[in-house]
A = this chain, B = another copy of it.
Amino acid sequence: MSQKTSLDLGPLPELIGYVLRRAQLVVFQDFFQAFAPFDISPAQFSVLTVIERNPGLTQSQVAAALGIKRTNFVGLLDELERRALAERRQAARDRRSYALYLTAEGAALMRKLKPVLKAHESRMIARLGEAGRDRLVELLHAIVDRPSQNGARLKEAKVSRPPRPGSVAT
């Protein structure tokens, strides 16, 4: 007897949260397998991406941009620093806070990960089609971008850039 075809899941398969979670686990599973040779998790990849694109940000800024809780973020960053992929440097303007940078090793890793990410994303798009992917991303943004809580839509996050800090990025 196939368990998958004989169970009554009630309202679950139509519930946004339930299907979202199932889909997220499938996509992350593919990501984990693809990135296993580099021992990089989705969260680590996000952090490295934001640091790469915005060198010199504080920990709170990166954590806020990614919606990661401060305590979880500290652990994530400790691990990236231990592996010499990212580093904290004392911020010039505020000696109590740290500015984040990729190391040369971290930057090199990010270059190596580019085709891995592309292949992962292509496998996901293969299940949806290009138009399906576009629509899915649009619908997900409609959930994430909460006009009542912040006026800015996530897609607008790319429009402007912060002033570069004085120090040169690695």
Contact = CB atoms under 8 A, between A and B. Distances in A.
A18 B2 CA distance: 32
A117 B154 CA distance: 27
Given A10-B50, A11-B117, A128-B139, A20 B24 contact: yes
Contacts of A133: 16
Interface string A1-35: 11111111111111111111111111110010000
Interface string A117-143: 100110011011000110111011111
A50 B3 CA distance: 12
Tell which of A23, A120, A160 has the most Cβ of chain B within 10 Å: A23
Given A128-B139, A158-B9, A64 B14 contact: no
Contacts of A154: 4, 9, 13, 22
Main secondary structure of the interface of A (DSSP, over half): helix
Nearest to A156: B5
A158 B13 contact: yes
A36 interface: no
Interface stretch (A74-82, A89-97, A144-152): A144-152
Tell which of A7, A22, A64, A120 has the most Cβ of chain B within 10 Å: A7
Interface of A: 1-28, 31, 42, 46, 49-50, 52-54, 57, 61, 64-65, 67, 117, 120-121, 124-125, 127-128, 132-133, 135-137, 139-144, 146, 150, 152, 154-162
10 contacts: A5-B152, A7-B65, A7-B161, A8-B158, A12-B50, A16-B121, A21-B42, A22-B140, A22-B154, A124-B143
